[in-house]
Amino acid sequence: MAIVSWGGVMPALATPFGRDGRLDESLLATLIDLLLSEGVSGFVVGGSTGEYYSMSVPERTGLFEAVARHVAGRSVLIAGTSSINHAETLELSKAAKGIGYDGCMVLPPVYCLPKPAEIVRAFEEITAIGLPVMVYNNPARVGLGLSYDLALQIAHLPGIVAYKESARDLYAIADLYYATRDRLAHFAGLEPYGSALLSRGAKGIVSTISNVCGREVVDYYRAFQSNDMQMLSRSQQVIDEMYRLLTQSGLSNFAFVKSAMAALGRPGGSVRAPHLMADQAQIEKIGRSIEGIYARAGINRTRR
């Protein structure tokens, strides 16, 4: 299969929930429009940042539909269809295909610690649906990582077109990139590693933190493409310090994302259980910290 044209910055889209816990479609539409105005090229919908694990299959399908209605062909749409239940992954992937998504992003089967042959079989069943697949390697969340040999085997399955990498071993990542970048569109899954992976042939970044600072992640990608080292350095600093703030906040990752969005007046809505949003005092503190990040990087947010 020819390499797909996917590239650029694709946010792992936050799912804005209202205080009643339901999807807030108005906030969702506002967030999509904001991110598109900041230059993103597509969205991964219902991934980890979208808190898919807190949603039922009908809710996830409804989210896919709501995003597709509002995007209306303006960007690439990738459906996050992973589930602890493999049958649900298949069901969600079929639904995304029916809605008209460009592809689906899928982790290896989670929690059950499958053997390599079982992982290959799972991806064979997903690709049989006929929707292009982005493989997602995230050892920290799955409990196992895809080895070079296993990833190479999966890469040769018909219908596997892209690969999102959230592992941290740059040497191992590079080996896989060099072996498969002629057939797969590779994406960095950890923004601080973005330029290191773009220089090895990645086509873009599937980004969590772009929900908070979309323009800076887009500038980061564009600076690399245009060889603008000054902008690349400034955007890298924002990304690195944003992740440092995340780890220092004491919040779970996606609670931090939505709390930071709230601090900046961005339409993120609330989290679902088991997550807990920051209280107002902490939200204000996060906002001040983010302003400090921009100041240290020499970026004036108010003029952007």
Residue 241 counted as domain residue: no
- The verdict on residue 265 lying in a domain is no
Question: Considering its fold, how many domains does the chain have in total?
Answer: 1
> 204-215, pLDDT tens digit by residue?
999 999 999 999
Q: Would you give the DSSP letter of residue 201?
A: T
Entry pTM: 0.95
Tell me the per-residue pLDDT of 216-250, one tens digit each, with 9 for 90 and over.
999 999 999 999 999 999 999 999 999 999 999 99
Question: What is the distance between the alpha carbons of residues 10 and 39, in angstroms, rounded to a whole number?
Answer: 10
**In Å, what is the CA distance from 98 to each residue of 15, 64, 72, 234?**
21, 10, 15, 42
Cis peptide before 274 (omega within 30 of 0): yes
User: Is position 198 within any domain?
Assistant: yes
Q: Which amino acid is at 47?
A: G
Expressed as residue numbers, the domain containing 221 is 8-227
Contact (Cβ atoms closer than 8 angstroms) between residue 50 and residue 80? yes
* Residues identified as active-site: 48, 136, 164
pLDDT, tens only, 87-115: 999 999 999 999 999 999 999 999 999 99
Residue 171 lies in a domain: yes
In a domain, 90, yes or no: yes
Is residue 126 one of the residues assigned to a domain? yes
Amino acid (one-letter) located at 232: L
Q: Is residue 73 part of a domain?
A: yes
Which candidate, 245, 249, 244, places its Cα nearest to that of 275? 249
Q: What is the dihedral of CA 46, 47, 48, 49, to 10 degrees?
A: -70
* Helix (H) / strand (E) containing 11: strand 8-11
Answer whether residue 1 shows pLDDT above 90.
Answer: no
- 64: its two tokens: 């896919």
Please report, for the domain that includes residue 195, its CATH number.
3.20.20.70
List CB contacts of 39: < 8 A, sequence separation 6 or more: 8, 9, 214, 215, 218, 222
273 occurs within a structural domain: no
DSSP string, 144-195: S---HHHHHHHHTSTTEEEEEE----HHHHHHHHHHHTTT-EEEESSGGGHH
